[in-house]
A = this chain, B = another copy of it.
């Protein structure tokens, strides 16, 4: 390969990490070195593939995917990551929105894992349920492995839950690393993670929570902005505050998009449902109360409509540092006049940032592949050196 690749691998060799055979459920459960490792491995895999070098490091193996919610891009990212490393995706499709508990989770977790290496789970419908479900699967796998039922303990990758969306936030961070040159440059930079108006309802909290839970770690100044009443899970916001103190960054909550945008280096305007609405919604979903859900949706949409001015416009962009902040979104965005009448972002702003936005999305397959690789191999740097030494082309 080349100097760039060697730099990445050498950097890995200086990191302390305990990623091997540990699930990736929340970024804040990982050390900074571990997060850096995941980024570096992702970059190395991308660099190698870009040079037509095969990084296939599984001769066979299954990557189970369990999407308890619709998804196209995460599904493709997961499939791309698995394929890149040589794993085959097998979907576990239980029917939508079903909440399995206890015995069923315990048994099913073992049954799908006899020859499986990783399990990717997306479960973001119910507040208090998604991440808990992943841990329940994890405990079942631990037990089955301990009892000799499983020859290996598959690693779990959180593909989005009610609390965090680590494959998204880590891809976002890799995008920032790529745009700003390195992680060190992010120190002191200001990112505005702000609510934005959307004509739809019930959007999950995991993206904003993932962003405020991660970007503080790098010493960034994080402004979380939302209209009054649109708060996130309180514990996550408190913890973001804590993290900012530790890293020397900042964490502020403001109730004005303009304030958050002012002098921001990066803006991330994106709609979500208020925490207390998500709580009610979970209750109504559990009670299977369609009338109540309808009523809640009506109220929530009416409330949203009070904040149509929370739109990322050209005017607001001018408030940012030199008017040149990087605009980010996890996609798809609600673009005013395109995907909806009034939405999260003005058409001209979106259009201007289309290329970086798509590049941002393009990091996700590599982040997931990196999470897979670091989960299955104790020494990722050695694996990458081996793959480079092997020198097998992806295309003949």
CB distance from A390 to the nearest CB of B (A): 9
Q: Is A361 within 8 A of B111, CB to CB?
A: yes
Per-residue 0/1 for A320-333: is the Cβ within 8 Å of any B Cβ (1 yes, 0 no)? 00000000000110
Given A54-B60, A386-B396, A396-B383, residue A365 in contact with residue B107 (CB < 8 A): no
A9-17, A85-93, A128-136, A160-168: which lies at the B interface?
A85-93
A361 to chain B, nearest CB (A): 6
Shortest CB distance A43–B (Å): 13
Closest to A146 in B: B355
Report whether B394 and A149 are in contact in the complex, using a CB–CB cutoff of 8 Å. no
Contact between B90 and A79 (Cβ–Cβ < 8 Å)? yes
Q: Check: A110 CB closer than 8 A to any chain B CB.
A: yes
The reply to whether B90 and A88 form a contact with Cβ atoms under 8 Å apart is no
Is A103 among interface residues, defined by CB-CB distance under 8 A? yes
User: Given A103-B338, A377-B396, A331–B111 Cβ distance below 8 Å?
Assistant: yes
Asked if residues B115 and A358 are in contact (CB atoms below 8 Å), the reply is: no
Q: Which A residues contact B (CB, under 8 angstroms)? A: 49-50, 54-62, 72-73, 76-77, 79-80, 83-86, 88-90, 92, 94, 102-104, 107-108, 110-112, 114-116, 144, 147-151, 331-332, 335, 338-339, 355, 358-359, 361-362, 365, 376-377, 383, 386-387, 392-396
Copies of the chain in the assembly: 3
Closest 10 CB pairs of A and B: A80-B115, A54-B59, A149-B358, A57-B396, A147-B355, A79-B90, A114-B362, A73-B111, A83-B88, A59-B394
Given contacts A60-B86, A80-B115, 5 further A-B contacts (CB under 8 A): A59-B392, A84-B115, A103-B335, A107-B358, A147-B355
Cross-chain pairs A/B with CB under 8 angstroms, 7 sampled: A57-B396, A59-B393, A60-B83, A80-B114, A83-B115, A103-B338, A111-B361
CA distance A116 to B107 in the complex (A): 32
- Chain B hits for A396, CB < 8 A: 57-58, 377, 383, 386-387
| Neighbour of A49 across the interface among B151, B365, B376, CB < 8 A | B151
A88, A115, A147, A393 pick with most chain B CB within 10 angstroms: A115
* Residues of B close to A110: CB separation below 8 A: 358, 361
A392 to B396, CA, bound (A): 13
Residues of B within 8 A of A365 (CB): 114-115
Which B residues lie within 8 Å of A361 (CB)? Answer: 110-111, 114
Q: Are A62 and B86 closer than 8 Å at their CB atoms? A: no
Contact A61–B83 (Cβ < 8 Å):
yes
CB-contact partner of A395 in B58, B112, B358, under 8 A: B58
Instruction: Using known A-B contacts A60-B394, A394-B61, determine if residue A149 contacts B362 with beta carbons closer than 8 Å.
Output: yes
- A335 CB to nearest B CB, Å: 7
Q: Which residue of B lies closest to A115 (CB)?
A: B80
Q: Given the complex of chains A and B, what is the CA–CA distance between A103 and B61 in angstroms?
A: 37
Given contacts A112-B76, A114-B80, A114-B365, contact A57 B358 (CB under 8 A): no
Given the contacts A148-B355, A358-B147, A76 and B59 also touching, CB distance less than 8 Å: no
Residues of B within 8 A of A88 (CB): 79, 83, 88
Given A49-B115, A149-B358, A362-B114; A339-B103 close (CB under 8 Å): yes
Residues of B within 8 A of A393 (CB): 59
A199 to chain B, nearest CB (A): 16
Known: A62-B79, A103-B335, A151-B50. A57 touches B376 (CB 8 A): no
What separation, in Å, do the CA atoms of A166 and B85 have in the docked complex? 33
